[in-house]
A and B are shown apart, each in its own frame.
Chain A
Amino acid sequence: AQSVTQPDIHITVSEGASLELRCNYSYGATPYLFWYVQSPGQGLQLLLKYFSGDTLVQGIKGFEAEFKRSQSSFNLRKPSVHWSDAAEYFCAVGYGGATNKLIFGTGTLLAVQP
């Protein structure tokens, strides 16, 4: 069965430090992969997505993610974190090869220290 694993439940980084959030997926074919951010009291916002092509994907707010098929991973990175990045981040995979039905990971809660 398809699944998404985010091993880090909670991460704290200092403002200005780099960030990497881990995501591993389980799917037999080439997956459709997504990263969403959920800020307190707000809805989910798409940061970036990977469907095919270049395995390094650029997203909004300075985020990027790299698809590594050999590792079944799609880690999210940002070179310099801002205090406004504090939020919960969800990795997701398209359900059964779909792009509109998603299986989400359990999320990583990011705290940013001044």
Chain B
Amino acid sequence: SAVISQKPSRDICQRGTSLTIQCQVDSQVTMMFWYRQQPGQSLTLIATANQGSEATYESGFVIDKFPISRPNLTFSTLTVSNMSPEDSSIYLCSVEGDEQYFGPGTRLTVT
């Protein structure tokens, strides 16, 4: 199994600012994934992050808005840039093991 932690657990931010979310896993993993869960909606995959290469973004998500770092095999960050109220969501990281494990999420509110 994999234990995933995320920081911060929640934050309230002003529009126009940026927030960096950290994801730490207790074992080395090749791929890490970032999802967004907008209020009342399902989870949507933002991007896949491999160590040593640029993240791969899904349709509708761009690097300028959601830059991702993957400096080593146990850590990744997702930055939500130039935030607007529409970015208010729960952001979850996920890793692959014997199953897909999810972190507890970061609840972001943009005012």
Q: A residues within 8 Å of B by Cβ?
A: 34, 36, 42-44, 46, 49, 90, 95, 99-107
Which residue of A34, A95, A100 contacts B96 across the interface (Cβ within 8 Å)? A100
Given A43-B92, A43-B105, A44-B92, A102–B100 Cβ distance below 8 Å?
yes
Are B100 and A46 neighbours in the complex by a CB distance under 8 Å?
Answer: yes
Closest to B104 in A: A43
Given A42-B104, A46-B99, A49-B99, A102–B92 Cβ distance below 8 Å?
no
Given A46-B99, A100-B100, A95–B33 Cβ distance below 8 Å?
no
Are B45 and A95 neighbours in the complex by a CB distance under 8 Å?
Answer: yes
Closest to B105 in A: A43
- Which of A44, A90, A95, A99 neighbours the largest number of chain B CB atoms within 10 Å of its CB? A44
Docked complex Cα distance between A35 and B105 (Å): 18
A64 vs chain B, min Cβ distance (A) = 17
Which residue of A46, A49, A100, A104 contacts B43 across the interface (Cβ within 8 Å)? A104
- 8 intermolecular pairs with C-beta atoms under 8 Å apart: A34-B100, A36-B102, A43-B92, A46-B99, A99-B100, A101-B48, A104-B44, A106-B41
Residues of B within 8 A of A90 (CB): 42-43
Q: B residues within 8 Å of A by Cβ?
A: 4, 31, 33, 41-45, 48, 92, 96, 99-100, 102-105
Interface of B is mostly: strand
Residues of B within 8 A of A101 (CB): 33, 45, 48
Which residue of A34, A43, A44, A103 contacts B45 across the interface (Cβ within 8 Å)? A103
Residues of B within 8 A of A106 (CB): 41-42
Are B48 and A44 neighbours in the complex by a CB distance under 8 Å?
Answer: no
Are A104 and B99 neighbours in the complex by a CB distance under 8 Å?
Answer: no
Closest to A34 in B: B100
Given A44-B92, A46-B99, A49-B99, A102–B45 Cβ distance below 8 Å?
yes
